């Protein structure tokens, strides 16, 4: 198949390249519209009790969350001071007159409700409800209200918060940070590619594949936004994987093409041989990564689904770019791929050099290397004992961000989470009056509950509101929800609200993880067996990858929870937790990329072994011919993801640093030391499989 593809591309190279260029331009033009269609939410489990409560509130009680929460702070005056009342009413009337406002509720218009007043009585809430449910409009409204109302207003200070303001702050920072990240990573990547390839022409090829994969994914995501919500965080993953894997695959293809040319082959024959060998490796490597990333779509949360969609698409397009337009370009330019020599040693790598020497050094003392490497991994894993998980809230923003400042002010000055209550629905509550009364009394005694409201009845349904003291998206709030749900309650009771949504989301991730892990292990074992014909090598790869992931989680815990080596990632608000969804993302992406490098390495080792070399020599020569590419690709990919640490959003810092660290750990300790050491210990058992299964092996 790959050989035939090579012939077709080489013979119709100009046509193939023309179609590719036109498709890329079209995809970029249309896909650029996706930036205004992203969602900053998507963390909820659509099938949870908390989501059912939101539906009850909206459909039955005609209640919805305020999109914007304004706090009017009178500083040293009481909110009941006549001058403050007059100014607050003036602000409220101004807000009520804004376009798109459905209703407004404040301390002053509610008749002085105590729950809408700060602890010291100098600040009051003003809730703004919008008539639109469109995310794009709500996002824009958040920015509008923050720009217009947040800040000093005469003697008063106004703080703008709420879902719309938070969404706008997050989206704005991610888009701005992404521009800075790309402005750093793309030029730096090009410089690194020049050093790796040693020639200007060759170093431009990987960027072509990477950039076009990104543009193609933007187009695909734009189409997806018409049928589902796509998370704004998918932007970072798309650019990171698109640029990184585009470079990885292009490195492999271009390097092999140059090898074939240096053997004296024609352009067409070099392209055919390249696709027959490196092309096959790229295809199966990409398939492994795609199937790994697809596991993210198993989660009910749209945030993780979005990552699965975008990740699978961008990797698939990187593979397509490396297998179709890139060979067409190589077929056109031929030996000119070496034009613009910068480093002669990069033009024609040695068949037996430093990497082969390192492999032989390791294989002479495999037990010592395995023992030392295992000890180092254990040290890196150790901090994971302190790990705690939570979810994204305003604390992912920098301390100087106005949205965080407003949220922090509310948390400190108001007695409970008034804008984030626990919402309890009794669907048949009209017939459960006595039971609800007993339940309310028990609920009020639960530690962490500030107050319980008066039941409200609409038709057959009853609504009960409880205010709690802790931030809603924290382990403490999750424990509180479990205690509330453990209370004896009337039949059919549903517990919702932001804290319940957080608890349901954590529960959904925990319950889905075994399915995800099972899918990844099964598909990776199957693909690696088909690729290598070995029973042992796929098992080794799985075990080493999980050890590498555990080490990465340990280091993330050490930095983002224990507060060590924070200079590596810059300033952030330490919540004492890691974001659950981000950690799932880091684990799946890092696992997929590790498999990518595993396929790269095993492909060359097996090629040498099939050519008749001994186990030791096939490992040495395989490492020599692939390690330079793997190390270069890993370092460049780490740079691409590493630039995400400049982000002002903590979860993006976590993702960037986590993936970058996992990649570097895998390309150095795992691939350069543990893999050759273990393959030396296993000897010819590396390639064993029952004869009945050998027929399923892919011929290399």
Instruction: Report if residue 46 sits inside a domain.
Output: no
What CATH number should be reported for the domain holding residue 450? 3.30.70
Residue 504 tokens read as 């349901």
What does the pLDDT read at residue 322? 93
Q: Is 202 left (phi over 0), alpha (psi -120 to 50) or beta?
A: alpha
- Tokens matching residue 431: 């017939």
* CA–CA distance, 595 with 529 (Å, rounded to integer): 13
Cα–Cα distance, 231 to 504 (Å, whole number):
19
User: Does 352 have pLDDT greater than 80?
Assistant: no
Question: What CA–CA distances, in Å, run from 464 to 64, 421, 422, 457?
Answer: 15, 10, 8, 9
- In this structure, the answer to whether residues 216 and 311 fall within a common structural domain is yes
* Residue 322: partners with Cβ closer than 8 Å, 6 or more residues away: 209, 246, 249, 250, 252, 253, 279, 282
- Structural domain includes residue 326: yes
SS3 string of 153-165? ECCEEEEEECHHH
Whole-angstrom CA distances from 456 to 325, 372, 453 are 64, 65, 9
Q: What is the pLDDT of residue 344?
A: 59
Residue range 20-42: mean pLDDT, rounded: 83
Phi, psi torsion values for 599, nearest 5 degrees? -65, -45
Task: Determine the Cα–Cα distance for residues 406 and 394; give it in Å rounded to an integer.
Answer: 9
Domain-ending residue, one of 161, 186, 206:
161
Dist. CA 567–CA 16, nearest whole Å: 48
Residue scoring higher pLDDT (531 or 340): 531
Mean predicted confidence (pLDDT) in 425-431: 92
Asked if residues 501 and 48 have their Cβ atoms less than 8 Å apart, the reply is: yes
Residues 209, 351: one domain?
A: yes
How high does pLDDT run on average in the chain? 88
Residues 230 and 278 in one domain: yes
What is the reported pLDDT for 320?
94
pLDDT at 700 over 60: no
| 3-class state of residue 495 by DSSP | strand
The percentage of the chain sitting over the pLDDT mark of 70, rounded to a whole number, equals 96
* Domain end point (choices 161, 190, 224): 161
**Looking at the predicted structure, is the pLDDT value of residue 346 above 60?**
no
Model confidence at 597: pLDDT above 90: no
Give the pLDDT band (50/70/90) at residue 15.
very high
With tokens 């108001």, the residue in question is 414
Highest mean pLDDT among 126-135, 223-232, 437-446: 437-446
Q: How confident is the model at residue 484 (pLDDT cuts 50, 70, 90)?
A: very high
Is position 563 within any domain?
A: yes
Residue 24 to residue 18: CA distance in whole angstroms: 10
- Give pLDDT tens digits for 86-99: 999 999 999 999 99
Q: Specify the 3-state DSSP secondary structure of 82.
A: helix
Rounded to whole angstroms, the Cα distance separating 593 from 549 reads: 11
State the pLDDT at residue 374: 96
What pLDDT does residue 203 have? 78
The answer to whether residue 54 is domain-embedded is no
Residues 317 and 402: their CA atoms lie apart, in Å, by 39
Does 130 share its domain with 80? yes
**Residues forming a β-bridge with 211:** none
Handedness of CA 497, 498, 499, 505 (dihedral sign): positive
pTM recorded for the entire structure: 0.84
Task: Say yes or no: 388 and 421 in one domain.
Answer: no
Question: In terms of DSSP H, where are the helices of 487-579?
Answer: 498-532, 536-560
What pLDDT, on the 0 to 100 scale, is given for residue 350? 61
For the chain, the domain total comes to 3
> Do 207 and 134 share a domain, yes or no?
no
For 66, the token pair is 């305020």
Tell me the average pLDDT across 16-24. Answer: 90
Dig out the tokens for 441 from the structure. Answer: 């009394």
Main-chain phi, psi angles of 426, to 5 degrees: -110, 100
> Given this model, what pLDDT does residue 661 score?
96
The verdict on 535 and 567 lying in the same domain is yes
* 585 vs 505: CA distance, rounded Å: 15
Question: What span, in angstroms and rounded, lies between the C-alpha atoms of 406 and 349?
Answer: 58
Residue with tokens 């032989």: 360
Report if residue 274 sits inside a domain: yes
Q: How far is CA 579 from the centre of its chain?
A: 11
Q: What is the pLDDT of residue 628?
A: 77
Determine the pLDDT at residue 337: 79
Domain boundary among 139, 161, 183: 161
Q: Flag whether 144 is in a domain.
A: yes
Output phi, psi for 105, to 5 deg: -135, 130
For residues 447-463, give the mean pLDDT: 92
Residues 6+ apart with CB under 8 A from 539: 525
Q: Which domain holds residue 445?
A: 408-504
Residue 447 to residue 462: CA distance in whole angstroms: 24
Q: In the beta sheet, which residues pair with residue 231?
A: 39
In a shared domain, residues 134 and 279: no
Q: For residues 370 and 300, give the distance between their C-alpha atoms in angstroms, rounded to a whole number.
A: 40
CATH number, residue 599 = 1.20.1640.10
E strand or H helix at 329, and its extent? helix 325-333
Q: Does the pLDDT of residue 345 top 70, yes or no?
A: no
pLDDT digit string, tens, across residues 241-289: 888 888 889 888 988 898 888 888 888 889 999 999 889 889 988 999 9
Residue 425 phi/psi, 5-degree rounding, is -115, 130
How much is the pLDDT for 341?
66
Both 595 and 688 in one domain: the answer is: yes
Q: Check: CB of residue 192 under 8 Å from CB of residue 636.
A: yes
pLDDT tens-place string over residues 642-694: 998 999 999 999 999 999 999 999 988 998 899 999 999 998 898 888 877 76
């Amino acid at each position: 198949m790959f050989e035939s593809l090579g012939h077709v591309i080489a013979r119709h190279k100009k046509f193939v390249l023309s179609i590719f260029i036109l498709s890329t331009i079209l995809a970029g033009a249309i896909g650029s519209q996706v930036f205004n269609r992203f969602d900053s939410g998507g963390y909820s489990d659509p099938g949870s009790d908390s989501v059912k409560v939101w539906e009850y509130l909206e459909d039955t009680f005609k209640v919805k969350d305020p999109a914007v929460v304004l706090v009017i702070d009178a500083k040293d005056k009481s909110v009941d001071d006549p001058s403050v009342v007059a100014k607050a009413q003036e602000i409220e009337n101004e807000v009520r007159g804004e376009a798109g406002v459905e209703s407004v509720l404040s301390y002053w218009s509610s008749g002085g409700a105590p729950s809408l007043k700060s602890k010291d009585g100098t600040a009051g809430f003003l809730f703004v409800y919008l008539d639109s449910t469109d995310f794009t409009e709500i996002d824009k409204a958040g920015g509008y209200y923050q720009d217009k109302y947040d800040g000093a207003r005469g003697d008063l200070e106004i703080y703008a918060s709420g879902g719309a303001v938070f969404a706008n702050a997050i989206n704005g920072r991610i888009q701005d940070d992404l521009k800075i990240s790309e402005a750093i990573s793309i030029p730096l990547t090009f410089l690194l590619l020049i050093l790796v390839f040693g020639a200007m022409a060759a170093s431009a090829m990987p960027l072509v594949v990477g950039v076009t994969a990104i543009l193609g994914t933007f187009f695909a995501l734009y189409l997806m936004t018409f049928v589902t919500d796509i998370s704004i965080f998918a932007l970072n993953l798309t650019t990171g994987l698109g640029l990184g894997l585009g470079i990885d695959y292009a490195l492999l293809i271009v390097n092999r093409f140059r090898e074939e040319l240096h053997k004296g082959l024609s352009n067409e024959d070099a392209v055919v041989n390249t696709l027959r060998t490196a092309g096959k490796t790229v295809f199966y490597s990409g398939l492994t990564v795609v199937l790994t990333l697809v596991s993210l779509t198993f989660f009910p949360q749209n945030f993780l689904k979005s990552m699965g969609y975008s990740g699978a698409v961008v990797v698939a397009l990187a593979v397509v770019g490396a297998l179709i337009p890139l060979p067409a370009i190589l077929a056109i330019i031929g030996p000119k791929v070496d034009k613009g020599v910068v480093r002669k040693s990069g033009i024609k790598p040695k068949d037996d050099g430093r990497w082969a020497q390192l492999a032989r050094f390791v294989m002479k003392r495999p037990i010592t290397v395995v023992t030392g490497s295992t000890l180092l991994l254990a040290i890196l894993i150790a901090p994971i004992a302190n790990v705690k998980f939570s979810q994204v809230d305003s604390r992912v923003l920098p301390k100087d961000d106005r949205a965080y400042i407003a949220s922090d002010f509310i948390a400190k000055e108001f007695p409970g989470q008034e804008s984030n209550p626990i919402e309890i629905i009794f669907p048949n509550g009209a017939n459960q009056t006595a039971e609800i009364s007993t339940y309310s009394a028990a609920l009020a005694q639960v530690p962490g509950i500030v107050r319980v409201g008066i039941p409200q009845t609409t038709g057959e349904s009853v609504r009960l509101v409880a205010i709690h003291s802790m931030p809603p998206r924290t382990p403490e709030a999750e424990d509180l929800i479990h205690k509330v749900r453990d209370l004896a309650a009337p039949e059919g009771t549903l517990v919702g609200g932001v804290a319940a949504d957080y608890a349901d989301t954590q529960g959904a991730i925990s319950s889905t993880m075994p399915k995800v892990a099972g899918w990844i292990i099964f598909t990776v074992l199957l693909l690696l067996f088909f690729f290598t014909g070995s029973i042992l090598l796929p098992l080794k790869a799985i075990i080493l990858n999980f050890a590498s992931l555990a080490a990465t989680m340990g280091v993330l815990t050490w930095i983002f929870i224990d507060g060590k080596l924070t200079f590596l990632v810059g300033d952030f608000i330490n919540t004492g937790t890691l974001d659950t969804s981000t950690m799932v993302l880091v684990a799946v992406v890092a696992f997929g990329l590790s498999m990518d490098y595993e396929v790269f390495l095993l492909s060359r080792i097996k090629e040498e072994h099939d050519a008749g070399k001994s186990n030791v020599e096939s490992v040495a020569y395989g490492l020599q011919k692939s390690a330079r590419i793997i190390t270069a690709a890993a370092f460049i990919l780490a740079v691409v993801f590493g630039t995400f640490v400049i982000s002002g959003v903590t979860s993006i810092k976590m993702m960037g640093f986590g993936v970058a660290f996992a990649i570097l750990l895998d390309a150095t300790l795992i691939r350069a030391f543990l893999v050759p050491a273990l393959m030396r210990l296993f000897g010819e058992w590396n390639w064993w499989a029952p004869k009945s299964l050998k027929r399923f092996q892919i011929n290399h």
